[in-house]
Structure 1
Amino acid sequence: MGKKKVTSTDIARAAGVSQSTVSMVLNKKYNVSFSKETVRKVEEAAEALGYAAPGRKSRRGSRKERLLVVFCSNLTNPYYVMLLQGIESRAKEQGFGLFVCNTQRDLRMEERYLKMMWELRPLGIIYTCNPSECFMGLVEELSVHIPVAIINNQNEKLNVDAVELDNSKLGRMMARHLLELGHRNVAYIAPPLTVRQKQRSKRVEGFLKEFAEAGIKENVIIKAAKEELDLDIAHIDSEYKIGYDLTKELLSETKDITAIVGLNDMIAFGILDALYEAKIKVPGDMSVMGCDNTLFARMHKVALTTIEHFVIFKGRDACDIIMKKIASHNSKYSEIEPISTYHVEYEPKLIVRGTTSYVRRRKKK
């Protein structure tokens, strides 16, 4: 009968510490969290019991273990698909596989996936949006032991690596374009503007600031979907329907506006179809604008004016940050592992196409 395999639980019992402490110490993460005395006790207990670390020889050669985890809030918006495309292209070049966690903006799903990370032990974690605020502590704790990169709203204060997006700047650019075209009465259609989804609110706030500086903030109508909508599982047409349904409502409430903005391209497509059904010409009677420059923005029969902020490149950069962290961990500089924080940001660009134009006088009926 073979000798019983020594586990981290055995070492924890011998050293008088928790099993998670043993796991982190044996994985050389002790420079951040543990005293020299704790490290010494764990290492001496492991040596005395004859502990052999599992999978050490196979890790380099096993492609299955070269895993990155990506957290997405939904996969119905092409924006997230574009981010995944950027991440996957870089990961594939480096021989990594992806495990995608689609949280569907459900706090329970997000928490469940986060707790799985301690067992799954991927080589890196990428968030394609801001983590829910109630889990930031858990994400920062994970980042001590597993490289984490977040593609986030720049206005959030995070103690982890980030590829940043200034959503307020995007909103200001959209407003500036319409103001330059002479639009003074406009509407902005958005998904639920909840505390959890601050990046949405920042985009709207930027838009309003630009109109406020022009002295006509009160001329902007903000129509946001009801908060309950974020509690439902996102369907493939959820954001399109927000644009479509809220435009229908808007048209029944006012006739004065000359431009409608969608918080993103998918909402803008819904706006366009609602206007088409109402026989309102774009851009002759109404200008329409989106944001994200998704693939469909270029394919639509009336090409959409939008904002390009280099989504695929952001995905690649997030993956590059993870690779740099892994490389710094594997390269021995001294007994202390270097700690560095990366922040990357792209300058957004206005893409003018066929859905915006100068304000034209409407014919009186």
Structure 2
Amino acid sequence: MSATIKDVALLAGVSTTTVSHVLNKTRFVALTTQDKVLRAADELNYAPSAVARSLKVKNTKSLGMLVTTTLNPFFAEVVKEVEKRCYQEGYNLVLCNTDGELEKTNSYLRMLTQKRVDGILVMCAEYDDSLFSSLMGERNLPMVVMDWGPSDPYVDRIQDNSVKGAHLAIRHLIDMGHKKIAYIGGPLEKLPAKQRLDGFVEAMTQAGLTVRDDWVIESDFEFEGGKQGIRQLLACEMLPTAVFIGNDAMAMGAMSEAQLSGIKIPQQLSVIGYDNCLYSAYFSPPLTTINQPKEMLAELAISTMIERINNPRQEGKMIMLEPNLVVRSSVARL
């Protein structure tokens, strides 16, 4: 049978209130008394209830995270970095995979608030504005949006500069001699997809290059979305020499499908992705891509969350992450 706080108090010869103050560090207790309590707790292998402690000190040292899918390598790598950072800061992470379903997202949101997490990290495009607003209003619950999520003025947001990333991609293709460039991206209701398309159009226009409607393809951000997008592109009457694809998962799906169709990459079609996922370096050919600094994203998310937990404030802040080009072998020089 597990020891209780009363057992510790009895062995140390003090009150249960004193034991609570020592273990939770909620009031100064004489050092000799602290030693008695800590020795008694150690001798009895006493483990305080996390729930009871949270009611005393008003926190649980746990964070929730809503993520669209952990199957996408980008999300998986971000989650890994977030979990590592949480551990370093003494927080537990409750991970909720929403699978892009609004009902599931709302259910997880309610569950996380019932568990009294200290804050929620959001990395999903499916959300109910009214539910987010009500939860924040009821509990003043700290939230940090990691690129994908609500754009509430009271929420902190860390966002990739996707417009700049698209410019970097197109500039590299142009520098390699390409002028006939296509784009395959994710659903335009998702902010990163819209910004990457905006950056593509801007960069092409600034270079005086034509943006063909049949070469701008909207798909989804998964492997299958890349396969479907490249099929649509290969069915065009005229083919580009290069394609900028909205993320690495799509790019790898597209490259696989193109090669099955007899297209040589990069000899016949150059491909550049976005995210710099771990797998992209080991694909065939290794994928040239735009890097999102995932370790920095996780570090900023946790430090921003802890800052908001410790110093509650009304206005949210925006932090912009700057992407960079990673050159590998999937783009040929014309």
Q: TM-score, normalised by structure 1?
A: 0.70
Matched residues, number: 282
SS of the counterpart of 1:282?
coil
Matched with 1:224 is 218
Q: Structure 1 residue 345 and structure 2 residue 320: aligned?
A: yes
Matched with 1:270 is 253
SS of the counterpart of 2:274?
coil
Contact 2:142–2:305 (CA under 8 A) maintained in structure 1? yes
CA shift at 1:77, angstroms?
Answer: 0.7
Matched with 2:89 is 94
Matched with 1:317 is 300
Aligned partners of 1:152 and 1:187: how far apart in 2? 25
CA shift at 1:155, angstroms?
Answer: 11
Aligned partners of 1:154 and 1:165: how far apart in 2? 13
What runs of 5+ residues in structure 1 fail to find an aligned partner? 1-53, 230-237, 329-336, 360-365
What letter matches 2:195 in structure 1? K
CA shift at 1:338, angstroms?
Answer: 5.0
Q: Structure 1 residues 239 and 168 mapped into 2: Cα distance closer, same or farther (>3 Å)?
A: same
Pairing of 1:114-193 with structure 2 (within 5 A) = 114-130=109-125, 132=127, 135-143=128-136, 145-152=140-147, 158-193=153-188
CA shift at 1:112, angstroms?
Answer: 1.9
Contact 2:64–2:93 (CA under 8 A) maintained in structure 1? yes
Q: Structure 1 residue 295 and structure 2 residue 278: aligned?
A: yes
What letter matches 1:211 in structure 2? M
Matched with 1:51 is none
Aligned partners of 2:237 and 2:296: how far apart in 1? 40
What letter matches 2:318 in structure 1? H
Aligned partners of 2:298 and 2:248: how far apart in 1? 19
Match for residue 76 of structure 1 among 71, 74, 81: 71
SS of the counterpart of 1:74?
coil
Match for residue 204 of structure 1 among 190, 197, 200: 197
Contact 2:102–2:126 (CA under 8 A) maintained in structure 1? no
Contact 1:170–1:348 (CA under 8 A) maintained in structure 2? yes
CA shift at 1:157, angstroms?
Answer: 6.3
The 10-residue stretch of structure 1 (140-149 or 297-306) with the greater mean CA deviation from structure 2:
140-149
Contact 1:147–1:325 (CA under 8 A) maintained in structure 2? yes
SS of the counterpart of 2:100?
coil
Query: What's the RMSD between the two structures over aligned residues?
Result: 2.8
SS of the counterpart of 1:205?
helix
Matched with 1:355 is 330
Cα deviation, 1:94-137, whole Å, max 9, x if unaligned, reads 221111121222111122222334322101100124563xx234
Contact 2:100–2:125 (CA under 8 A) maintained in structure 1? no
Matched with 1:253 is 236
SS of the counterpart of 2:302?
helix
Q: TM-score, normalised by structure 2?
A: 0.76
Matched with 2:44 is none
CA shift at 1:71, angstroms?
Answer: 0.6
Contact 2:61–2:117 (CA under 8 A) maintained in structure 1? yes
Cα deviation, 1:291-346, whole Å, max 9, x if unaligned, reads 00000011223111001120232022111111122233xxxxxxxx6556443222
Aligned partners of 2:206 and 2:85: how far apart in 1? 42
SS of the counterpart of 1:241?
helix
Aligned partners of 1:91 and 1:272: how far apart in 2? 36
Pairing of 1:103-118 with structure 2 (within 5 A) = 103-118=98-113
Match for residue 214 of structure 1 among 207, 210, 230: 207
Q: Structure 1 residues 185 and 344 mapped into 2: Cα distance closer, same or farther (>3 Å)?
A: same
Matched with 2:42 is none
SS of the counterpart of 1:325?
helix
CA shift at 1:259, angstroms?
Answer: 0.6
Pairing of 1:235-246 with structure 2 (within 5 A) = 239-246=222-229
Q: Structure 1 residues 55 and 280 mapped into 2: Cα distance closer, same or farther (>3 Å)?
A: closer
Q: Structure 1 residues 182 and 161 mapped into 2: Cα distance closer, same or farther (>3 Å)?
A: same
What runs of 5+ residues in structure 2 fail to find an aligned partner? 1-48
Contact 2:146–2:159 (CA under 8 A) maintained in structure 1? yes
Q: Structure 1 residues 259 and 56 mapped into 2: Cα distance closer, same or farther (>3 Å)?
A: closer
Matched with 1:308 is 291
CA shift at 1:158, angstroms?
Answer: 3.6
Q: Structure 1 residues 157 and 116 mapped into 2: Cα distance closer, same or farther (>3 Å)?
A: closer
